[in-house]
Structure 1
Amino acid sequence: MSGLAFDALLCDLDGVIRFFDLDEVTRLEQAAGIAVGTTMATAFAAERGRPLVLGRLTRTQWAASIAEALTAQVSARQAATLARAFAHAPSRADQQAVELIRRVRRTIPVVLVTNATVWLDDDLGRLGLTDLADHVVNSSRVRVAKPDLEIYQVAAERAGAPAHRCAFVDDSRTNVDAARQVGMSAVHYRRLSDLRELVAPVLGEVGPSLM
């Protein structure tokens, strides 16, 4: 055990490191006369979102399911176009967050803990993030998703540290609360400074105590 406040960093991916560009989806929704955000709500409705992050849907199956649901509001052609645009939306990595995590990894293990898809590895490759973490706990591969407590235990095991020696960061309050249930120090991510303050002690910088 080190003299640091924690021995491993467990980090969410989407909303912390990776961000999707939905401008084209928004444009298509406006052109179709439906509320902005309708496609996202449809894509992640319980009957679709849960199977997706548990590895039960391919991207083609997901897009087809989104399109089928959207036909209640728009034409079949518009629905297919919206579904395809959403399922293939481009993404970017926050390079400041990436650099912070790379620096942290020089000192302690880093594990990405993400509710993600079976094609995540391809996405990470396109973003140049294949080597960002020591391990990636992808819900669609381990078949358990946040906030199920089991995924945090899997992540701690991959990190090689007991749960109470792991720090966890996520943009979902629900996921943060779950991490605390297994004994982790956890921070709700809202802006880059939340991550920066969390890892400051690891980087030899002054930072506040963990929340």
Structure 2
Amino acid sequence: MIQAVIFDVGGVLIRTHDHSGRRAWEERLGLAERESEEIVFGSEMGTAAQAGQITDVALWAWVGQRLALDAAQLAAFQQDFWAGDVLDSGLVDLIRALRPGYQTAIISNATDNLHHALTHKFAIADAFDLIVGSAVERVMKPHAAIYLRTLARLGRQPAEAVFIDDSAVNIAAAQALGMATIHFNPRVDVAAELARLGVQPTP
């Protein structure tokens, strides 16, 4: 029986709806389309930040150097880079409705800024019993350790948890441990998929 519902953040709870700010900077800096995202997320330094090898502050200092931006330009770039991100308020409402009857948690590949962002920028940290970020744990999905640590802290077995993520690789890793999963995309009705697993908000 499912007792814990575990969510990814980027691509699930928070999604980039408007890329225009990023595209404008790419044109200005002579970068290819989506190259700014590759630099921030997919570069060696981006991965190092998510793995906890460097801080979020160090990552952005490197981005500024990589793009030859001064402090004011870097601040503007950061603001525009994140400007198109939107919190899925419907999913957050569902999570809050689940909490009386189920544990809720996050497993996210993210820099050490994750908890601060969820608390202060998006104001959703209180909707979760546990927030597990890769930088703090120094291990990233799809490594089994980050799932197993989360389950241990919740006091749950894999079969007692459902994991929701937009990455097929991360979903497969959770399934290999025996967790139920929902492979997310914006067209997926998460409430209906949870109900199919017997998970419903407390009346």
Helix, strand or coil at the partner of 1:131: helix
8 A contact 2:115–2:131 mirrored in 1: no
Q: Report 1 or 2 for greater relative contact order, CA contacts < 8 Å, sequence distance ≥ 6.
A: 2
- What percentage of aligned pairs have identical amino acids? 29
Structure 2 CA distance for partners of 1:78 and 1:22, relative to 1, 3 Å: farther
Give the TM-score normalised by the residue count of structure 2.
Answer: 0.85
Contact 2:52/2:111 (<8 A) preserved: yes
Q: Do the aligned partners of residues 78 and 37 (structure 1) sit closer, same or farther apart at CA in structure 2, a change above 3 Å counting?
A: farther
Structure 1 residue aligned with 2:173, among 166, 172, 178?
Answer: 178
Instruction: Tell me what 2:2 maps to.
Output: 6
Matches within 5 A, 1:1-211: 5-20=1-16, 22-70=19-67, 76-77=68-69, 81=73, 85-86=77-78, 89-90=82-83, 91-125=85-119, 126-191=121-186, 193-200=188-195, 201-203=198-200
What 5-or-longer segments of structure 2 have no aligned partner? none
Letter in 1 for 2:2: F
Tell me the number of residue pairs that the alignment of Structure 1 and Structure 2 aligns: 196
The 3-state SS of whatever aligns with 2:37 is helix
> Structure 2 counterpart of 1:17, which letter?
L
The CA distance in 2 between the partners of 1:173 and 1:83, in whole Å, is: 33
Shift of residue 98, structure 1, vs aligned partner: 0.4
Maintained 8 Å contact 1:39/1:83: no
Which amino acid in the other structure matches residue 14 of structure 2? R
Question: SS in structure 2 opposite 1:193?
Answer: coil
SS of structure 1 residue aligned to 2:9: coil
Deviation larger for 111-120 or 83-92: 83-92
1:78 and 1:24 mapped to 2: Cα distance? 18
Residue identity matched to 1:151: I
Task: Kindly report the root-mean-square deviation, in angstroms, between the aligned alpha carbons of the 2 structures.
Answer: 2.5
Q: Which runs of 5+ in 1 are unaligned?
A: 71-75, 206-211
- TM-score for both structures, normalised by structure 1: 0.82
How far residue 58 of structure 1 moved from its aligned partner, in angstroms, is: 2.4
Report the CA distance shift for 1:24/1:10 in structure 2 as closer, same or farther (over 3 A): same
